Amino acid sequence: MRAFKATSLLNLILLPLCASHFIILTPPPLGNNINNEDQSPCGGFSPSSSDNITDFHVGGDAIGLTTLHAQAYFAYRGLLGTSLSNPNWTVLIPTVEEFGLNSFCQPALTVPPSWAGSTGLLQVIQDAEDGVHYQCMHVNFVAGTGTPSSACSNSSGVSATYADDPTFDTIEGVGGSPSSTQPSTTPTQTASPSTSSAPASSSASTSAAAPSMRLRIAEASLWAGLLAVLVASWT
């Protein structure tokens, strides 16, 4: 009975950890299915007229998500129109390396001004230790600058910096570069991965210098928690 109880508790804890990747909070995604998130380009979903289509301001608007990996790379891309047959994605900002769990937001992501008045797709790609995952959002591109909603926030301990991830260089369909749609900035300026024009965290560069250490700490905490549960189940 105790062995069964311990095994059940272990499975209960490990199942969501094994299945979790990231979830788009805003704008509304085409769909969220963790079993299909590894399917390019939109995690197993295709755009349709029945989607929850919202406005996205070309002068800067927010993409908020929840990440369930302690460290991951994110690519942000956009597409004019909704055809996924040979899509010509535009890179919106350089690759972001993010550290920390839970909420992470890009508050002022811009797209080409000429897209205003058209529909299109936004794509977020995550490269984590268990593979590459995809999510897309169906939006109306409109003029002006948006105001981040409450869904755009950074959890305590979350930090980010621009980095290079060769994995994204091999993903098909990229047509533009960040310089064609985003001002030339550093991670500490307005285009930085933060909730405002200030840096996401003063420790971002330090964290980026030792991501493996952060992952070891997270893994150690996880296994310590699992051990505590198992010990408790036997007492």
Per-residue pLDDT band for 49 (boundaries 50, 70, 90) equals: confident
DSSP letter (8 states) at residue 16: H
Q: Distance (Å, rounded) from C-alpha 207 to C-alpha 49? A: 42
Q: ∠ CA(134), CA(139), CA(141), 5° rounding? A: 125
Average pLDDT over residues 122-131: 95
pLDDT tens figures, 129-173: 989 999 999 999 999 999 988 889 999 999 999 999 999 988 877
Q: Distance (Å, rounded) from C-alpha 74 to C-alpha 162? A: 10
pLDDT at 108 > cutoff 60: yes
Q: What is the pLDDT of residue 174?
A: 72
Q: What is the pLDDT of residue 177?
A: 56
Residues in the chain: 235
Asked if residues 63 and 153 have their Cβ atoms less than 8 Å apart, the reply is no
How high does pLDDT run on average in the chain? 77
Per-residue pLDDT band for 96 (boundaries 50, 70, 90) equals: very high
Q: Distance (Å, rounded) from C-alpha 189 to C-alpha 132? A: 28
105: closest CA among 61, 145, 70, 69? Answer: 61
Q: What is the pLDDT of residue 170?
A: 87
Per-residue pLDDT band for 112 (boundaries 50, 70, 90) equals: very high
Residue spans of beta strands (DSSP E) within the chain: 22-26, 54-57, 61-67, 71-80, 89-91, 96-99, 102-109, 119-128, 131-142, 159-162, 174-176
Q: What does each C-alpha distance from 28 to 47, 54, 69, 188, 204 come to in angstroms?
A: 12, 8, 21, 27, 28
Percent of the chain with pLDDT over 70: 65
Per-residue pLDDT band for 32 (boundaries 50, 70, 90) equals: confident
Asked if residues 38 and 134 have their Cβ atoms less than 8 Å apart, the reply is yes
Q: What is the pLDDT of residue 175?
A: 65
pLDDT tens figures, 6-27: 444 444 444 444 445 899 999 9
